[in-house]
Amino acid sequence: MSTAVPNNGGSAVATAKNAHTAKDATAETATRPARATGASPFTDIAPGRKRTNAIMGGLMWLCMILALIPLVWVLWTVISRGIGPITSGDWWTKDQGMTTPLLPGGGAFHAIVGTLLQTLIASLFSIPIGVFTAIYLVEYSNGSRLGKLTTFMVDILSGVPSIVAALFIYALWITILGQERSGFAVALSLILLMVPIVVRNTEEMLRVVPMDLREASYALGVPKWKTISRIVLPTALSGIVTGIMLAVARVMGESAPVLVLVGSTSTTNWNPFSGPMSSLPLMMLDMYKSGTTPNVMDKLWGAALTLVILVVVMNILARVVSARYSVKKK
């Protein structure tokens, strides 16, 4: 019959280890500096890092103020000098056909009509071409040669000056094809300026859309074209609309195409395919060449403010449409 013998040696070793650990913890607690009640458990930031952060923050604010100063200055100058003519009802309903730049009266209706018609025609071509080109580059090209060539040509086209685009259309549309100078020729040159902006912006917005949304749609058996139209485009709609409005705002103020491709007129022309057609940039140039009398300068600044108002109104309408049809956050 065997009798169990207690392992006194093992218990003694364990007791010694526990005592040693407790002694070390007590010593560490004694040497650790006492923390005040309610103090932050995080280490304080070094003074040098605080100074660097303050300096960089100050530089950011300074750059922001320097960027705002010219913008506010230009806006204030345009509003203060152009508010007088546009408050008249004749400014929005009459043209300059019954008066001259040196005399008071008349309006900018002919220039407003020309600007809107030229921009509308350019947008009807540029927006579908730009959006579908961006969809191809993001969703279908997959690094193909055609995709790389398209990206390269868009990059080149985005750096083309407006006068070069106007001269190209003049050589092709008027010299070679024998068409007359008209508002439609101006719209063709504006297309060359709008397309690269729309393509680049839409491409970037489509790349921002998470790939998980596409993969989830494909997993449910949804075709690729429907995934793009029902999921990808609505998700990126607000950014796409912003890029389109940037392109529209740019071409509405272009003066080189209207100088080269269409003649100036003081009457309203509703036909963009025939005859001279004025626009707000062309009206400003005509007023600038007419002298510096008060009546001329009032009409010049009034046309500038009218152009700004048109751009702002179109941006507001685009924001409303974007908010109406974009993806809603719940």
Q: What pLDDT score does 21 carry?
A: 52
Query: pTM for this structure?
Result: 0.77
By 3-state DSSP, what share of the chain in percent is helix, strand and coil, each rounded to 5?
Answer: 75, 0, 25
What total of structural domains would you count in the chain?
1
For residue 221, give the DSSP letter. T
Q: What pLDDT score does 70 carry?
A: 92
Which helix (DSSP H) or strand (DSSP E) does residue 263 occupy? Answer: none
Give the burial string for 270-295 (b: 16+ CB within 10 Å, else e): eebeebbbbbbbbbbbbbeebeeeeb
Q: In sequence order, what are the residues at sequence separation of 6 or more whose Cβ sits closer than 8 angstroms to the Cβ of residue 147?
A: 136, 137, 140, 141
Tally of CB atoms within 10 A around 241: 23
Q: Answer yes or no: is 100 within a domain.
A: no
Give CA–CA dist 66/17, Å, rounded: 68
Q: Answer yes or no: is 48 within a domain.
A: no
Q: What pLDDT score does 59 carry?
A: 94
Q: Answer yes or no: is 14 within a domain.
A: no
Q: Give the side-chain half-sphere CA count within 13 A for 330.
A: 0
Q: What pLDDT score does 330 carry?
A: 58
Q: Answer yes or no: is 330 within a domain.
A: no
Q: What pLDDT score does 12 carry?
A: 47
Q: Answer yes or no: is 63 within a domain.
A: no
Give CA–CA dist 243/13, Å, rounded: 76
Residue 230 belongs to domain spanning: 106-282
Q: Answer yes or no: is 164 within a domain.
A: yes
Residue pLDDT tens, the chain, 330 long: 444 444 444 444 445 445 555 555 454 444 454 454 555 565 677 777 888 888 999 999 999 999 999 999 999 999 998 888 888 888 888 888 777 777 887 888 889 999 999 999 999 999 999 999 999 999 898 888 888 898 899 888 888 888 999 999 999 999 998 888 888 999 999 999 999 999 999 999 999 888 888 888 888 888 988 999 888 988 888 889 888 988 898 888 888 888 888 888 888 889 888 888 888 888 888 888 888 888 888 888 999 999 999 988 888 888 887 777 666 665
- The CATH number that applies at residue 115 is 1.10.3720.10
Cα dihedral value 91, 94, 97, 100, nearest 10: -20
Q: Answer yes or no: is 161 within a domain.
A: yes
Q: Answer yes or no: is 114 within a domain.
A: yes
